[in-house]
A and B are shown apart, each in its own frame.
Chain A
């Protein structure tokens, strides 16, 4: 019984989320892309006063780096010293 209830609640939640999932995920991705650009800006020649701090984030963001540069229209890694694909 409780299994059925929790299944129903999960479906209800999906009923809430599913119709707008794409729009929300896209909005989030756009913000993330901008953030990515900020983090990598110094390496692309754009001065960034916070680059010292964002340096720490590089390893965390590296996993998403490939998808990002492809999405931004760059087939290969745009950075000389960061290899990707």
Chain B
């Protein structure tokens, strides 16, 4: 089958979803109102609340949610064949991620721009809020550990990516300095930065860098992991404008350029999908795709991380309420497109089925390596670039995504630790150095505890990361459902995805628990149990909250109350 058909079906599905489903949700369920005064106008302060153009908001939402995760998930999941991954990405993006992202944005905008955590407290309760914080912390912990391992693996497998990946930091520092200290306009620095970035890939291609070998008993991947966390700790302590902001920006630019290059190459090369639709020749260590598929692909189908972006920052900058559809649904669609690109690279980038199977010999052996190699060959066939260069390009793209997420992740972890410090009156924890150190040490413990020392077993925790992400998405969908119920609107469009996600997450946790136990990976057993306990609490909280919302609604009806909420909502239509 031609990959072009897959592109057409996938993008066609996203388009239909946007034009029909998101329209239905926006008009009939959320009832977006162009006359509603958004928090950006009502509370405009020039700091957090600033009305912002919807294209800018969409670009921000898209670039902050589309990172390495929507590449890694599908790249692992195609081991079950391309069809399950493809269906989950397309349906997930339309019916799960779209309503989740847009819903978080809408609910936040309707509640004075509160973040999802604060919203959880006011809609569900205090305990749910604490749970929310714990789940976020676990999520950040895993994302940092996994991404460090992923980058280390890429550096080892594709040494040509080392120079460009570190060179970007210098470029970002230069841009930050030029813009803030010299007041230079943005256009030329951006253009030159992009040219330098792609030029550095040629240099990297010519001069691959490999670390010499084991030092003090540490393998090469472990050395990279340490170096990366050293970097992330320093980067997260620097003022935002120095590094994080220009880095985010370059990352955003190269995301657009990279996606354009990749889809153009797919169209020109028109490769054939060599992987089977459903893989019947599965390696021994691969678990059943039901339920593991739904946690292996989290970002790219639905991810709780998006709700944090939607509700904390984007909602405070929403110019008109009707922009929710454009920013939320289309932002999620952008990430779906990246996941689609990953599926195509990992299934159509190989000449023969045997070559593909060579990559997918075990559950964790495919991943980003397959994406880089497969995508590299599509780029080289489509655009006539050397295969090597195509590989470097994609490897650098993945490294940059993952590294920027690490920067932000360590910073966010520090904020959470500092917040805990101030809540519980432990003054020392509020210091930035101690809190950063705690964050980094926790991440390192996880990275090495999960077998990252050898740099081989790191991806074992990927499904656990996906599960935690789904758990967070579940919490957001729960808040949305309760919110919709309180307004007297139909809540099944968020409730059904919520039930599905929580069921899959719990099931996947149990399956993995048994697996870890059998393999005597007790550290992972412990982690799995922690997440399982969090899941059980989420279920209990949600049952309580839903029952309460339901009975409140029934009482209101019995009292003859029509409609509900302060937003002029009528009874469910």
Contact = CB atoms under 8 A, between A and B. Distances in A.
B47 A29 contact: yes
B48 A22 contact: yes
A15 B47 contact: no
Given A12-B187, A19-B60, A24 B53 contact: no
Contacts of B187: 9, 12
B56 A11 contact: yes
A16 interface: yes
B185 interface: yes
A27 B239 contact: yes
Contact of A11 (B55, B244, B246, B316): B55
A12 B190 contact: yes
A6 B411 CA distance: 34
Given A9-B186, A12-B187, A27-B239, A19 B47 contact: no
Residue of B47, B64, B187 contacting most chain A CB atoms (<10 Å): B47
Contacts of A27: 239-240
Contacts of A19: 60, 64, 245, 248, 313
B187 to A, nearest CB: 6
Contacts of A53: none
Nearest to B186: A13
Contact of A18 (B52, B240, B244): B52
Nearest to B317: A18
A50 B187 CA distance: 43
Residues of A contacting B: mostly: helix
A23 B57 contact: no
Interface in B56-84: 56-57, 59-60, 64
B313 A15 contact: no
B50 interface: yes
B240 A24 contact: yes
A81 interface: no
B346 to A, nearest CB: 30
Contacts of A12: 186-187, 190
B314 to A, nearest CB: 9
Contact of B241 (A9, A11, A24, A26): A24
Interface in A1-59: 9, 11-16, 18-27, 29
A12 B37 CA distance: 26
Interface string B536-566: 0000000000000000000000000000000
Nearest to B52: A18
Contacts of B239: 27
B249 interface: yes
Nearest to A16: B249
Interface in B237-257: 239-241, 244-246, 248-249, 252
Contacts of B425: none
Given A9-B185, A29-B47, A15 B240 contact: no
Contacts of A18: 50, 52, 56-57, 60, 317
A14 B52 contact: yes
B379 to A, nearest CB: 26
A15 B317 contact: no
Contacts of B240: 20, 23-24, 27
B217 interface: no
Contacts of A24: 240-241, 245
A47 B307 CA distance: 49
Contacts of B64: 19
B46 interface: yes
B189 to A, nearest CB: 10
Contacts of B57: 18
Contacts of A16: 179, 186, 245-246, 249
A14 to B, nearest CB: 5
Interface of A: 9, 11-16, 18-27, 29
23 contacts: A9-B187, A11-B53, A11-B55, A11-B56, A12-B190, A13-B185, A13-B186, A14-B52, A14-B53, A14-B56, A15-B249, A15-B252, A16-B186, A16-B246, A18-B56, A19-B245, A19-B313, A21-B50, A22-B47, A24-B240, A25-B46, A27-B239, A27-B240
Interface of B: 46-48, 50, 52-53, 55-57, 59-60, 64, 179, 185-187, 190, 239-241, 244-246, 248-249, 252, 313, 316-317
